[in-house]
Amino acid sequence: MTNIKTYDDFLLEAKAVGVLYHFTTPRGLRGILEYDEMTSAHGAISFTRNFDLRSWAKTFGAYCRITFDGDEMSNKFRFAPYLFDPEKDPVLQMPHVDVKSRRAQFGEEQEERIVKNTISNIKRYILQVDVLDSAMKSKEMMAISKVEMANSGIPFNHVTKFEPYRTQVYVQAA
């Protein structure tokens, strides 16, 4: 009777994270895709549930948005929610900007972090890349074109504004 399986044999639990976004510069995108990893010198890599951080993106030149499969990532990594607090943030150290002012300027970030310095094989979790063309310089656009050609397996969208990620639904004709 060793072939009888229990519920535990069939049960696979995973955190339902959903879609996550990471905003980066054209140069940052090139590095992420070229080396197939994300790195941080600050001990954590941040993602957000907010699909449109346009103001933040323009302020910091982060015109590229990578959409990730958070459910798949949660099978390998542990996410921790994060709320920016400028007095405690070791990265930005901007005590003159309070949380309310930051939200008014940049919007609700809804961050999730993976507390690691490096995430390898990151391409396997990428659903698509959106590029905010209207904000970039021609030199940056050329660099993005090269990155896009070198990563033909990743869908790239050139957009005028960021929209929520939508999965493709195909309907078969009767």
pLDDT digits (tens, 9 = 90+) for 68-81: 999 999 999 999 88
In this structure, is residue 50 part of a structural domain?
Answer: yes
The reply to whether 109 falls in a domain is yes
In a domain, 73, yes or no: yes
Structure tokens that stand for 158 in this block: 């050139």
Q: Which two tokens stand for residue 159?
A: 């957009």
> Is 2 part of a structural domain of the chain?
no
User: Does residue 63 belong to any structural domain of this protein?
Assistant: yes
Please check whether residue 170 lies inside any domain of the structure.
no
> What is the residue range of 58's domain?
16-159
Please check whether residue 22 lies inside any domain of the structure: yes
- Give the CA radius of gyration of the chain: 19
Of the candidates 33, 55, 49, which has an alpha carbon nearest to the alpha carbon of residue 129?
33
Please name the helix (run of DSSP H) or strand (run of DSSP E) that holds residue 148, with its range, or none. Answer: helix 138-150
pTM over 0.85: no
pLDDT tens digits, 134-144: 777 888 888 89
Domain count, the chain: 1
Spatial strand order of the sheet with 19-24 comes to 79-82, 111-114, 45-48, 19-24, 64-69, 126-132, 156-159
pLDDT at residue number 41? 86
